Amino acid sequence: MLDAAARTGAQAIHPGYGFLAENADFAAACERARVVFLGPPARAIEVMGDKIAAKNAVAAFDVPVVPGVARAGLTDDALVTAAAEVGYPVLIKPSAGGGKGMRLVQDPARLPEALVSARREAMSSFGDDTLFLERFVLRPRHIEVQVLADAHGNVVHLGERECSLQRRHQKVIEEAPSPLLDPQTRERIGVAACNTARCVDYVGAGTVEFIVSAQRPDEFFFMEMNTRLQVEHPVTEAITGLDLVEWQLRVGAGEKLGFAQNDIELRGHAIEARVYAEDPAREFLPTGGRVLAVFEPAGPGVRVDSSLLGGTVVGSDYDPLLTKVIAHGADREEALDRLDQALARTAVLGVQTNVEFLRFLLADERVRVGDLDTAVLDERSADFTARPAPDDVLAAGGLYRQWALARRAQGDLWAAPSGWRGGGHMAPVRTAMRTPLRSETVSVWGPPESAQVQVGDGEIDCASVQVTREQMSVTISGLRRDYRWAEADRHLWIADERGTWHLREAEEHKIHRAVGARPAEVVSPMPGSVIAVQVESGSQISAGDVVVVVEAMKMEHSLEAPVSGRVQVLVSVGDQVKVEQVLARIKD
């Protein structure tokens, strides 16, 4: 990258908000090459990137930290001893930070196992398996403060963001300002954030993360500092009117901040939802595939940040974030409503996403009133069930198939389905439509513009379908619905304001067969790579034993034996596996 900067005459490099943005070696290399790194000095990245060093640095500036043990070189035995002194529950954290590798431990007997797993995930994600330990704050809320500093000693904060709605320590919905903080606490936490920036002579945009007890909202503790622009920065831009990327560039060019703390006014409320390639109904397992079409919302107060295009391949090597949908309103209620309406118009066809779950979460009463903590999402996800394909969607699939047959048959009378030709008894075209939660045979009589349709053994209804490049309009018994659609290899994706459905044709005799693995097979629930095989092929194992560990999106998934028996392992460490690939077989 530095070679490219030299060849093109570039004066600065913006590292985005990925791993490169928090790479102290890269920032130092830019300094040596006299190329402006649009971020903080390398020393600030280095100190804040080491969570142990960071806690010690901020504590020296009177920033409150969570009780715990944080020093380099802690062994597993030392951590076990420290946990007993701090008191359970405890939170294990990688020194390299970032949310991955964290483990909440409430039972001392589970701590050794959690340490092994946390070290392995930390090494995989960050190349550093150093761990430290903190007391777990009950009913924690994740609240972070946006800071901005120039090279002339000026530091301001731009208010806070509430990021408590998380799964696996990864943010899902963020908002600004927090519905929890009163003006006095907001001022105190802002001062603490600015002091955090000052303790490392910070320059540029950064985020200071705090943990706040929902039961003690006036008490907060430093968690970490992200020395980069955050994924969720648009909500801060919405309520302040400031362009943070613009100010990164201006500060990088040596300008002073053009405003003081008293000049910053927070206007309205903004909320961001992250659209992930994952399946909420299957414990948020990563998904993947080729994006066939993307439909994004627009409207007052709505913003979409995305680089997603039709044809993009979503794999398992990177974070599953696909796009961000942001809504700004005069108050929190308006922002929530606008975001829900925007998500209703959001569809990624070709890849399973969490959009339906996001809307489920926004409708939750605790979310609506702002009664949040980091456990809310996990608690509510247990009540989420994916919506089975309704009759009209299955009927649309059958009618689409009829339309496709009609197009192929144009100009060739004998290629048309028999029910369209003159003479003889009109026979239906039957299509076995299979979806993850419901499968039915759809029968269609007649041409697509004037047909009859039946789903399963239901009523026979008059129907018609009109298809354009992006829209499918289906009328059934006088009721018209418009769908967004895309198809590839006989896989049809249909979406409307209720959700997105994946339909595929199946052999009719297989339509009622259960989806998933047979009891004697261990299958991969997502695409990824095998990082551990826990049993020997040919050995006797028990139901519940971990057979294989698969990693996807830098997250580990332990796959257990569904039955007891003799195991035949079909994969090795390092193998790349596909979704629903058989990894092992177990014989009684």
CA angle 195, 199, 205 (to 5 degrees): 70
Cα-to-chain-centroid distance, residue 379: 17
On whether both 353 and 493 belong to a single domain, the answer is no
Residue 513 has pLDDT above 80, yes or no: no
Q: 510, 541, 570: which is the final residue of a domain?
A: 510
Among residues 564, 559, 553, the alpha carbon closest in space to that of 533 is found at 559
Report the pLDDT value the prediction gives residue 389, as an integer from 0 to 100. Answer: 96
Residue 13 lies in a domain: yes
Helix (H) / strand (E) element for 396: namely: helix 391-409
pLDDT tens track for 211-222: 999 989 999 999
Question: From its phi and psi, is residue 169 left (phi > 0), alpha (psi between -120 and 50) or beta?
Answer: left
**Of the residues 330, 363, 381, which one is the last residue of a structural domain?**
381
Tokens 């058989």 locate to 582
Beta pairing class for 347-349 and 321-329? unpaired
Q: Report the C-alpha gap between 397 and 389 in whole angstroms.
A: 10
What six digits make up the tokens of 564?
């007891």
Contacts of 217 (CB under 8 A, 6+ apart): 141, 180, 181, 182, 185
What is the count of structural domains for the chain?
Answer: 4
What does the pLDDT look like over 8-45, one tens digit per residue? 999 999 999 888 999 999 999 999 999 999 999 999 99
CATH of the domain at 50: 3.30.1490.20
Identify the H or E element spanning 280. Answer: none
Is residue 541 a part of any domain in this protein?
A: yes
Question: Do residues 89 and 207 share a domain?
Answer: no
C-alpha to C-alpha distance for 427 and 46, rounded to whole angstroms: 72
Residues 22 and 149 both lie in one domain: no
Rg of the chain (C-alpha set): 27
Task: Name the amino acid, one letter, at 225.
Answer: M
Q: What is the DSSP annotation of 154-204? A: -EEEEEEEEEEEEETTEEEEEEES-SS--HHHHHHHHHHHHHHHHTTT--E
Measure the CA–CA gap between 538 and 146, rounded to whole angstroms. Answer: 55
Say how far apart CA 430 and CA 127 lie, in whole Å: 55
Q: Report the pLDDT value the prediction gives residue 515, as an integer from 0 to 100.
A: 40
Report the CATH number that the domain containing residue 562 is assigned in CATH: 2.40.50.100
Kindly state whether residues 221 and 301 are assigned to the same domain. Answer: yes
One domain for residues 113 and 257: no
Reply yes or no on whether the pLDDT at 97 is more than 60: yes
- Domain span including residue 130: 2-135
193 and 119 in a single domain? The answer is no
Shared-domain flag, residues 165 and 105: no
Helix axes 355-362, 332-344, angle to 10 degrees: 150
CATH code assigned at 406: 3.30.700.30
Mean pLDDT, to the nearest integer, of 106-134?
92
One domain, residues 448 and 406: yes
Which residue is associated with the tokens 């809504």? Answer: 327
Residue 524 to residues 571, 577, 587, Cα–Cα distance (Å): 11, 7, 18
Which one of 113, 135, 157 terminates a domain?
Answer: 135
pLDDT for 416:
55
* 515 assigned to some structural domain: no
What is each CA distance from 370 to 162, 339, 530, in whole angstroms? 10, 15, 40
Mean pLDDT of the residues in the chain: 91
Q: What is the per-residue pLDDT for 492?
A: 96
Tens of pLDDT, residues 215-255: 899 999 999 999 999 999 999 999 999 999 999 999 999 99
In a domain, 386, yes or no: no
Same domain, yes or no, for 500 and 544? no
CB atoms within 10 A of CB 142: 23
Neighbouring CB atoms inside 10 A of 183's CB total 7
Instruction: Say whether both 545 and 431 belong to one domain.
Output: no
Cα–Cα nearest to 286, from 294, 295, 277? 277
What is the pLDDT averaged over residues 471-493? 96
Number of Cβ within a 10 Å radius of residue 302: 17
With contact defined as beta carbons under 8 Å apart, do 30 and 37 qualify? yes
Regarding whether 436 and 307 lie in a shared domain, the answer is: no
**Residue range 554-574: average pLDDT?**
89
Domain of 231: which CATH number? 3.30.470.20
Q: Quick one: how far is CA 531 from the chain centroid? A: 22
- Is the pLDDT score of 553 beyond 80? no
375 lies in the same domain as 404: no
What would the two tokens of residue 552 be? Answer: 């996807």
